[in-house]
Homo-oligomer: A and B are copies of this chain.
């Protein structure tokens, strides 16, 4: 067989994993999926993911690509993988894609959702799935603050130093907050996210929620490029990589990556 290039669309509960990327001190999603793929194809498979996710962060959609010379049918791959994968990882679909595709570099836009449970008492159904925040929450001010993250900014104040990056400028296409019942949701959609950026923005919005920072103060915090001026990094377990945008010729693939929140995918 000539080598094929395959992209997987996954969904996973991050609780049990040390994020996506292989590392020495814990099991990762990449390693878990890679091992099963290697077993199925009888090849050593190296997966490229659409980005790092931190330990405990979830993915409603995640894209990873790999090359294989094995004869396994792309169509049957999801069922074959799911039968061997642990129940907290699910492969939604597999697509044969051009060799030039790269899960990270071909991704033009990502959306993260941060879930906050505002109920007075912790919910047995949300442990590891949402931040429990049983305090007054100034929603109107949070919504105003969100709007101040939209646009092209240097997000140095909203990241943790990690692997060096060429630029700390990113474009936030939309940033908004929603309340439904006793849940609050923060939506962040950008052309890319720096290390811990989604969690630092959420942490800053939590300071706005408790009136420690005002919405009007956000532009100045961004301009300061000073991490210490922003809020603490919000806990990982409330964060979901939710939607991904690719401009490939495969419309089904593009659409599956960015279709809007549906309940079963939660």
Contact = CB atoms under 8 A, between A and B. Distances in A.
B182 A123 contact: no
B183 A127 contact: no
Contacts of A183: 262-264
Interface string A79-104: 00010000111111000000000000
**What interface size band does chain A fall in?**
35 or more
How many copies of this kind of chain does the complex include? Answer: 2
A182 B121 contact: no
Contacts of A117: 264
Nearest to A122: B90
A188 interface: no
A125 B129 contact: yes
Given A11-B123, A125-B13, A129-B125, A263 B181 contact: yes
Contacts of A13: 124-125
A266 interface: yes
Contacts of A126: 264, 266
Interface in A218-262: 261-262
Contact of A123 (B90, B118, B120): B90
B58 A125 contact: yes
Most buried by B among A13, A58, A263, A266: A263
A203 interface: no
A186 to B, nearest CB: 15
Contact of A266 (B125, B262, B264): B125
Contacts of A91: 121
A138 interface: no
Contacts of A120: 92
A265 interface: yes
A78 interface: yes
A58 B263 CA distance: 18
10 closest Cβ pairs, A-B complex: A181-B262, A182-B264, A13-B124, A119-B264, A181-B263, A183-B263, A117-B264, A88-B124, A87-B127, A125-B266
11 contacts: A11-B123, A11-B124, A13-B124, A13-B125, A78-B121, A87-B127, A119-B264, A125-B265, A181-B263, A182-B265, A183-B263
